[in-house]
Homo-oligomer: A and B are copies of this chain.
Amino acid sequence: MPEEEHKSMDIVQLPTTSYIILGMLSYREMSGYSLKQLMDRAVKHFYWSPAKSQIYAELRRLESHGYVVMREVISPQRPDKRIYGLTPQGLDALRTWLDNTAVGPDSYKSPLLLKVFLGHLASPGILISQIEARRQKLARDLVLCEEKEEGLIDRIQEPLAEEEFLFPLLALRFNMASIRAALTWADEALEHLSRWQQEKAVGESKT
């Protein structure tokens, strides 16, 4: 049986970060600097935002693959800029990645949960205050999300603009759902832990 040949010109394996950048550039061309700002606002919450030094390096790599093109903007007033734009090949690579059904697994790293997990070695009061601090941060984040959501919903009502805001809205809704779940969990955990703290205090006073 003859082997099936798929001749594909330069299939390059890029890390996820590269595709984030290509994705951001699909909205509009941008400098490394503004890319960093956009990623801090938009993707940090469900993925992450690389250090600026890495963004600049990544842009140069993408350029070497022909996925983006650089254009220098020299200004007498402002600092010089390097504006990067997506090429057809870049868009193609991005689409191929998006439509690849193999989606990597989520990774969740929570130092707080780790401390909870090892709580038997911690000081009850400190553990409780760590969770309380987190609960407050979550509450603040939720408010920010709600404000952002309103802005998106307003703009989604405009005709012809639905597609542009549906996807960011879905991503935002995921964040909000996660935050609400974490808040509920924190309340429950704090109840358990205050009982534990009391029991521990009683146990120690008896000795």
Residues in A lying within 8 Å of B, measured CB to CB: 16, 19-20, 23, 26, 42-43, 45-48, 91, 94-95, 98-99, 101, 103-123, 126-127, 129-130, 133-134, 162-164, 166-168, 170-171, 173-174, 177-178, 180-182, 184-185, 188-189, 192-193, 196, 199
Contact = CB atoms under 8 A, between A and B. Distances in A.
Where chain A touches its partner, the secondary structure class is: helix
Contacts of A127: 98
Nearest to A23: B118
A118 B94 contact: yes
A32 B50 CA distance: 32
A161 to B, nearest CB: 11
Q: How many copies does the complex hold?
A: 2
Contacts of A114: 16, 19-20, 23, 43, 46-47
Contacts of A105: 111
A170 B119 contact: yes
Given A174-B185, A182-B177, A184-B177, A109 B112 contact: no
Nearest to A95: B121
A95 B81 CA distance: 49
A98 B103 CA distance: 34
Given A114-B47, A120-B164, A133 B171 contact: no
Contacts of A120: 163-164, 166-167
B178 A111 contact: no
